[in-house]
Amino acid sequence: MEGVNTLPNWCVNRLKVTGRPADLRQFQARAEQVPYWFKKNEDKKYEGMDSATAAASRLADNLKVEAEPTSKLTFSAFVQDTEHKKDESYDCDWCRVNWGTKWDAKEASRRELKSGGLVYDFDTAWCPPEQAIAAMSAQYPTLTFDMRYWEHGCEFQGRYRVCKNKPDKFIDENKPYHGDKGG
Closest CA to 119 of 137, 140, 144: 144
Q: What is the pLDDT of residues 139-179, one digit of tens each?
A: 999 999 999 998 877 778 889 999 888 888 776 655 655 55
- Please give the average per-residue pLDDT across 125-142, as a whole number: 94
Q: What local confidence, expressed as pLDDT, does residue 109 receive?
A: 92
Q: What CA–CA distance (Å, rounded) separates 30 from 33? A: 5
CATH class assigned to 10-34+69-171: alpha beta
Per the CB < 8 A criterion, the answer to whether 112 and 118 are in contact is yes
Per the CB < 8 A criterion, the answer to whether 110 and 120 are in contact is yes
Q: What is the pLDDT of residues 60-116, one digit of tens each?
A: 553 443 434 456 898 988 987 666 554 455 678 888 898 999 888 988 999 999 988
Torsional class of 109: left (φ above 0), alpha (ψ -120 to 50), beta (otherwise) = beta
Q: Domain segments of the chain: what residues?
A: 10-34+69-171
* Cα radius of gyration rounded to whole Å, the chain: 18
Other CB atoms within 10 Å distance of the CB of residue 168: 10
Per the CB < 8 A criterion, the answer to whether 74 and 32 are in contact is yes
Count the helices and strands in the chain (H runs, E runs).
5, 6
What Å distances lie between residue 136 and 86, 144, 173, CA to CA? 25, 10, 26
Q: What is the pLDDT of residues 1-54, one digit of tens each?
A: 455 455 668 899 999 999 999 999 999 999 988 665 554 445 455 555 555 555
For the whole model, what pTM was predicted? 0.73
